[in-house]
Each structure stands twice: as structure tokens, then as C-alpha cells.
Chains A and B, each alone.
Chain A
Amino acid sequence: MLRFILKRLALGLSVALTVSLATFLLLNLAADPAAMVAGEDATQEAIEQIRVQYGFDRPLYVRFFEWFGSILVGDFGDSYYWKKPVFELLIERAPVTIALALGALSVTILVGLPLGVLAALKPNGWLDRFALSFGTAAQAVPNFWLGLILIILLGVMFPIFPVSGDSTWKHFVLPCFVLGTSAVPQVLRLTRTGMIEVLGSDYIRTARAKGFRPSQILFRHALRNALLPVVSVLAIQLGYKLGGSVITETVFALNGLGRLAYESILGADIPTVQMLVFFFALVFIVLTVLGDILNAWLDPRMRVE
């Protein structure tokens, strides 16, 4: 087990290093950072001045090692646009995004798991057909559009929930629903498939033969094994939700990390954007490593590659 954990950690570290390099190169090669800081109407001299002032005239690898080195000592750089340390921005905006991601994950679990289990009880039954159709439809709904439709319906015609801002828990209901729905199809299908497979296995037949009540078989015997693959997907989904909150936060005017990223992109604020992309990747890596370890702990078979 320890060997497994160490191996996963080493892989996570090397992925983080590669991802940081890729992020840095992509964003710094996509545009001339000096010209972006200077703005659209800047003269050539002004751009050159900024290039020297911000150190953009130095070779790319020097700047990368400088950036990466400062991350290692906990310095995330300064934002050009917001005129303060990126770390402060992260701390300020993170709580909203974490609340949103956790809320959305709860929605995904509360809708996806029961539907998947119910669908698996009678494959091809009406409930199964309904669940699968629901999944297909949910997969095709664009997130931002669903958000806007809900704002029109619930925010204005039947004003139950506030539609903009993040001051109370009520503000989070609609955004969590919207962000949570997007992952329902995947969790639903995975739960359904796992459940159908487990319910058809020998040990469940044995349990039935021994006369256990159906509910006991379902919850005590079947569910635990069926949910193993769902665990890693949920870890991945939580990572995607943290990183994919850009649209939801913009639509519902939540002041989280996604909106910060969006505003930083529009403000051509490369240090903040590259830090956020790297930060989201890092969170994703940590979550997947934890998911793998959790899975290996739940299921010893996973420990061998």
C-alpha cells in the first residue's frame, strides 16, 4: 500500500511539473505579453519599455524557472490587472468556488446515484428508459443556456431564488443545480452499469438464495462494489467542477475563481491566468491521486498495476 501511494505521488509530482511548463509555454507564446500589458493603442516604444520593465526581454526558460522557483517558495507573483499578489486573490475568491463545487457535486450524487441504481434494478424497464433519456438530454444542454433559462423562469417569473451574487446560501441553489446537472449523465451511466454487473454476479445470487431481504442485498452487498468506479469519477468531477466553474460563475455573477479567471483573461493578466490554470490543474492532480488512494484502500485489487 505504501509503495502504491509513493508511486502515485511521484506520478502526480511529475505531471504537475510538466503541466506547469506546458501552461507557461502556451500562454507566453500565444501572444506578446508586453503588448498585452501595454494595451491596444500602445506605441512601439511603450511596448519595448514594458518589455524591459517587466523582464519579458529575457529568454523564456529563465522566466519559467523564475516563475516556478517562486511558486516553490510560495510566491505566486503579482497581478498586473488587479495590482495585488495573485495569492491574495486566490484566498479571496476560493471560498465561493469551493462552496459551488461541493454543492454541485452533492447535486450530481443526489440525482445521479439514485437514478442509476433505480435504472439498474430493471434494465430496459420504463424507469431505466426514463433515466437514460434524461441522461442523454442532460448531456446535450449547454450549461450557460440552462443557467439563463432558469434565471428567466425562477428568478423573474417565479422569484424563489436570487439569480445574481453570492451573499447568502440561497444564491448558490441555482448555480449548484446547473453545474451539478452537467455531470449527472456520467455518474448515472457508471452507477447503472456497475449495478447491473454486480446484481448479475454469483455472490448476489448466493445472497438471494440465503434469503436476505432485497433491500439488504441492495444496500449491504451490491451497492458497495458497484460504487467503486464511481469514486474515482467523482474525484475527477470535483476537479472539473472547480476548473469548469468559469461559465456558471459568470452567468450567476458569483465572485469565485472561475470569474476571476475570466476577468483576468479579458484583462490580459498573464500572471493571474497562468497561476489559475496551474492551480486548477494542481487541484485536479491532488484529487485524482487521493481518489486512486481511496480506491486502493477500498479495493486491494487496485494496488497492483
Chain B
Amino acid sequence: MTTTANAVAAMADDIIDLTPKERMIRKAKSHFGFKFGAFIVISFALIAIFAPLFAPHDPYLQDLAKRLVPPVWQEGGSWEHILGTDALGRDYLSRLIYGARISMGVGFGAATLGCLIGVTIGLSAGYLGGRVDQAASFLLTCQLALPSLLLAMALVFFVGSSVPTLVIVLGVLHWQYYMVVTRTLTRQIRSLEYVAAARSIGSTDRQILFYEILPNLFNQIIVVFSLEMAVVIIHEASLSFLGVGVQPPTASWGLMIAEGKTMMYFKPYLVVIPGAALFLLVLAVNLLGDGIRDITAPESRN
């Protein structure tokens, strides 16, 4: 009965013209990568925001009597500490949950900062052209030549490791792809008829940039945002792993892996669990970005 109803509904949908928005929603509903990515990213974001509600224990509470309790599926594990405890007897699941705050926070913050810088440069270069464009391209070439991970390590360590420092340094070093995408699209859109029409009715450059051009870049910028966020999350974890990022006792996945490294032969879960969380989040962010691109601009897929 329901199958027939669905089939009829599908037929009806094919006959009735869908608005672009409705078409997009339909595509989103049938895109596995998008659904999976969105589900994981939203879950992780909620877990990060409401960490105190989700965490079963205090992530900083040390209990030396309960050091290195294995996860529940291993012999000696208990439901009290589902993912076990670390070398200081801190609950691993709670630390993992609080670690999501660092990964999501630094990833989102740095990607936003990079977005502001890159889109500003890209818009000016693409819209104004000429000298400004040349200067921006030169800046881009210089930025691409710099070893960004190494420079980020040095700067974060020299300035003093803290979360705000990480966000600023990683953000300032990750604006290139926003700039490239924004510049190319702005150049294309600038010469379209509707922009000329806007100008002819007396729109100022500012109005054209913010009301005519920028809204049309939104989808592509979101795609770059997700890809850059994935890169930044890995960079934060790498820096924290090397000891120049987030400092103990703060819980960060990279730092948890570093702390577990000394015991990884006997207690592999200390390294496997936070790494798996990192992998899952980065995978989800990438899938979400790819999904948004497929749904909004399938022609740019390759």
C-alpha cells in the first residue's frame, strides 16, 4: 500500500515542476555521503557544545587506583569506564568528549578566520582586477611556498601555546583556497549581465559586492570551508601530538594520542580510540563538503 503511495508521489513529483530549492532538498535526501557527514558532524558538534552533559565523569579527575582500566569489551573492563582510563586514571570517554570541543572549536574558528581573510582578498582581486589582482596573486604564490605546518608549529610555540593562538595562527595560514575560489568566481560573475544591470540602476561597488556577488559565492565557500576545516582539525591534532599545540591537562585528541604513545604496545586502545575519533570527524567533514558540492554545483564535481 505504502509502496504504491510512494510510487504515485514520485510520479506526481516528476510531473509537477519543482523549484530549485525543492530539487536540492530531494538530492540531499538521497545523497549518502551528505547524510552520513551531516549526521556525524552535527552529533560531534552537539557533543562538543554539551560536553558536561554527555561526559560520564570529570575528564580531569585523576584516580591513581584506577589507572589504565581497559575498555569494556576487553578483559577487566567495566561499564563504569566504557572506554577505559588513561595512565592517570582519568575516564577516557569523558576526555574524548571534551577533546571534541578542541577539535571542533579550533577547526571551526580557524576555518572562519581563514575564510574572512581569503574571501576578502579574493573578492578584491576578482572585482578590482589589475594591480590589486596581481598583488593578490603574488601574495598567494608566497603563501603557497611557505611550509605551513612547520611555520605554524614554530609560531604557536614561540608565541605560547594556547587555544586562541592556535586558532589565529592556523587561520592566518589557511586562506589560500578561499581566495582562489572567490577570485575565479568573482571574475566570472562580475561580467554577467545582471551585475551590469545593477550598476546601471546606480548600485555602488559595495552594494554590488555584498548583494549581487557574495550571495552567489555562498555554496562554493561552504564547500571550501568544510575542506579547510578538515585540514585544520588534522593540523591542530598534529601540533598537539608533537607537544606544541594544546597543553596538558586539557583534553585534545592529538594530545591524548601523544600521552598514550609511550604505552601503545601494551595498551593500543589509548592510541586507537582518539585517532579513530579524529578519523571519523575528518571523514565526516570531508563527506559533508563533497555532498554539498554535489548537491549545489554538481558540474564542478571533477
Contacts of B287 in A (CB 8 A): 136
- Contact A15/B138 with A145-B278, A149-B275 known, Cβ cut-off 8 Å: yes
- Contact A136/B286 with A30-B155, A145-B275, A265-B244 known, Cβ cut-off 8 Å: yes
Interchain CA distance A240-B257 in the complex, whole Å: 24
A250 and B279 contacting across the interface, CB-CB below 8 Å: no
Interchain CA distance A19-B153 in the complex, whole Å: 17
Q: Mark A239-251, 1 if CB is under 8 A from B, else 0.
A: 0100110110010
- Contact A30/B138 with A140-B279, A243-B150, A244-B147 known, Cβ cut-off 8 Å: no
Interface residues of A in 270-305 (CB under 8 A from B): 270, 273, 276-277, 280-281, 284-285, 288
A261 at interface (Cβ–Cβ under 8 A)? yes
Contacts of A168 in B (CB 8 A): none
**Whole-angstrom distance from the CB of B131 to the nearest CB of chain A?**
15
**Whole-angstrom distance from the CB of B210 to the nearest CB of chain A?**
31
* Most B CB within 10 A of own CB, among A11, A26, A137, A280: A26
Contacts of B195 in A (CB 8 A): none
Q: Which of B17-25, B60-68, B261-269 contacts A (4 or more CB under 8 A)?
A: B261-269
Contacts of A142 in B (CB 8 A): 234, 237-238, 254, 275, 278-279, 282
Residues of B in contact, count (CB < 8 Å): 42
Q: A137-B283, A250-B242 are in contact. List 17 more A-B contacts (CB 8 A).
A: A18-B138, A19-B145, A31-B158, A136-B283, A136-B286, A140-B279, A140-B286, A142-B275, A144-B238, A144-B257, A152-B268, A240-B147, A243-B149, A244-B150, A246-B149, A268-B158, A280-B150
A281 and B145 contacting across the interface, CB-CB below 8 Å: yes
Contacts of A26 in B (CB 8 A): 151, 155
Q: Mark B143-182, 1 if CB is under 8 A from A, else 0.
A: 0111101110111011110000000000000000000000
B302 at interface (Cβ–Cβ under 8 A)? yes
Partner of A149, one of B146, B151, B272, B290: B272
Interchain CA distance A152-B260 in the complex, whole Å: 12
A36 at interface (Cβ–Cβ under 8 A)? yes
Interchain CA distance A30-B144 in the complex, whole Å: 21
**Whole-angstrom distance from the CB of B283 to the nearest CB of chain A?**
4
**Whole-angstrom distance from the CB of A294 to the nearest CB of chain B?**
18
Interchain CA distance A22-B146 in the complex, whole Å: 9
B145 and A265 contacting across the interface, CB-CB below 8 Å: no
Size category of the A interface is: 35 or more
Interchain CA distance A193-B158 in the complex, whole Å: 42
Contacts of A136 in B (CB 8 A): 283, 286-287, 290
B150 and A276 contacting across the interface, CB-CB below 8 Å: yes
Interchain CA distance A145-B283 in the complex, whole Å: 14
A141 at interface (Cβ–Cβ under 8 A)? yes
B147 and A281 contacting across the interface, CB-CB below 8 Å: yes
Chain B, Cβ-Cβ closest to A18: B142
When A and B form their complex, which 8 residue pairs have the shortest distance between CB atoms, in order from nearest?
Answer: A243-B147, A145-B275, A140-B283, A30-B158, A31-B158, A140-B282, A193-B302, A280-B147
A156 at interface (Cβ–Cβ under 8 A)? yes
Interface residues of B in 233-284 (CB under 8 A from A): 234, 237-238, 241-244, 254, 257, 261, 264-265, 268, 271-272, 275, 278-279, 282-283
A255 at interface (Cβ–Cβ under 8 A)? no
Contacts of B48 in A (CB 8 A): none
Chain B, Cβ-Cβ closest to A26: B155
B230 at interface (Cβ–Cβ under 8 A)? yes
A27 at interface (Cβ–Cβ under 8 A)? yes
Partner of B150, one of A143, A193, A196, A246: A246
Interchain CA distance A258-B244 in the complex, whole Å: 15
Chief secondary structure at chain A's binding surface: helix
Q: B residues near A, CB below 8 A? A: 138, 141-142, 144-147, 149-151, 153-155, 157-160, 230, 234, 237-238, 241-244, 254, 257, 261, 264-265, 268, 271-272, 275, 278-279, 282-283, 286-287, 290, 302
Interchain CA distance A236-B290 in the complex, whole Å: 23
A206 at interface (Cβ–Cβ under 8 A)? no
Interchain CA distance A49-B2 in the complex, whole Å: 85
Interchain CA distance A151-B271 in the complex, whole Å: 11
B141 and A11 contacting across the interface, CB-CB below 8 Å: yes
* Most A CB within 10 A of own CB, among B153, B158, B237: B158
Interchain CA distance A148-B271 in the complex, whole Å: 8
Chain B, Cβ-Cβ closest to A32: B158
Partner of A145, one of B154, B271, B302: B271
Chain B, Cβ-Cβ closest to A190: B302
A266 at interface (Cβ–Cβ under 8 A)? yes
Q: Mark A1-40, 1 if CB is under 8 A from B, else 0.
A: 0000000000100111011001100110011000010000
**Whole-angstrom distance from the CB of B151 to the nearest CB of chain A?**
6
B257 and A265 contacting across the interface, CB-CB below 8 Å: no
Contacts of A273 in B (CB 8 A): 154
A15 and B149 contacting across the interface, CB-CB below 8 Å: no
A247 and B154 contacting across the interface, CB-CB below 8 Å: no
A266 and B278 contacting across the interface, CB-CB below 8 Å: no
A262 at interface (Cβ–Cβ under 8 A)? yes
Chain B, Cβ-Cβ closest to A197: B302
Interchain CA distance A36-B272 in the complex, whole Å: 36
Contacts of A139 in B (CB 8 A): 230, 282, 286
**Whole-angstrom distance from the CB of B195 to the nearest CB of chain A?**
26
Partner of B151, one of A152, A197, A277: A277
B265 and A15 contacting across the interface, CB-CB below 8 Å: no
Partner of A284, one of B145, B243, B268: B145
Contacts of A281 in B (CB 8 A): 145-147
Chosen A-B contacts, 30 in total, with CB atoms closer than 8 Å, are A15-B145, A16-B145, A19-B142, A26-B155, A30-B154, A31-B158, A31-B159, A139-B230, A139-B282, A140-B279, A142-B234, A142-B238, A142-B254, A144-B241, A145-B275, A148-B257, A148-B271, A149-B272, A152-B268, A192-B302, A196-B302, A236-B144, A244-B150, A246-B242, A247-B149, A250-B242, A265-B244, A277-B147, A281-B145, A285-B145
